[in-house]
Amino acid sequence: MLARAAGFDAGFAFNVGVDAVQKNGQSEAIFNAIKTWETARMAGAFSSDQKKRMEDIRKEFHLEQTGANRWNLFPLAVEQFVFEQKVRQPGEPLHSTFEFTNPYEEQPMVFSAVLLPKENTPGANVTKIALEINRTQQVEIPLEMEPYQILQLNKDGGLHLLDRNRNVIREIDYTGILPAFKNGINVIVADAEFSPEGASNLKFEFRTAGPAEPVSGSNLH
C-alpha cells in the first residue's frame, strides 16, 4: 500500500483504534514505515520510472532511510504457497512441492508461515516444519505452533514464533545452516507434522530483494 501510494504520488488515511495499536507487536515498525515512505514521497525522491513500477499491484518494494533526505529503494520478489494438511492415502506422499522464482542474486532464504485452521475445524497444532531447497539444502524446525501463530525467518537469520498480533512469543534457537535461494527457479519441498486433533494449513510467504536503488530529494511540499 505504501509503495502504491508513492507510485501515484497520493496520500492515504486509515482508521485504527488505540487498543489495536497496543496489541500489535509491529505497531512501531508500521508507523515508522509510513513515516519513511511519506517523507520520501513528499520530498520528490522517486523517479518517473520508479513511480511507474510502484503503480503495478503485482510488484512490491521496501524502503530504508540512509541519511537526511536519502533512502534505498529495494524491489522485492514475493510469492505465497499453501501447504495443506493431508490424510495419508496408500503410496501418497505428504509433502508438497512449490517453485519460487528469484530474479535477483543468490541470497539467504527469508519466509513467514502462518498456521490457519481449515474451515469448520478447531485447527491442528504443528510440531515440526521441514523445508528442502533445490534438492540439496534442508532445514528442520521443531516447534510447538498453534493456530494463527506465525513463524518468521528474517534476512539476518533470526527465527521467531509470533502470535496473531505479531508479538514475539519466543526466539527459536536453530544452529543449522539456513538455505539460500539461487538466481532463477528454486524448487521448495515442504513438509510438516501436525497434532492428531483438528486440521490446519500452513500459508508460506517467501521473498527476495533486488539491489538497492539510491534515491534522494528535498522538494518537500
Q: Sketch the domain layout of the chain as residue ranges.
A: 2-75+210-216, 77-209
* Contact present, 158 and 171 (Cβ < 8 Å): yes
Residue 181 C-alpha cell reads as: 535461494
Q: Which residues contact 51 (CB under 8 A, 6 or more apart)?
A: 6, 7, 8, 9
Cα–Cα dist 101/130, whole Å: 20
pLDDT score for 18: 59
| 77-209 to CATH, choices 2.60.120, 2.40.50, 3.90.930, 1.20.120 | 2.60.120
pLDDT in tens, the chain (221 residues): 789 888 888 876 666 665 765 667 678 888 889 899 999 999 999 999 999 999 999 999 999 999 999 999 999 999 999 999 877 655 555 899 999 999 999 999 999 999 999 988 889 999 999 999 999 999 999 999 999 999 999 988 899 999 999 999 999 988 888 899 999 999 999 999 999 889 999 999 999 999 999 999 875 54
Cα–Cα dist 180/64, whole Å: 23
* Contact present, 165 and 157 (Cβ < 8 Å): no
pTM here?
0.88
pLDDT score for 179: 92
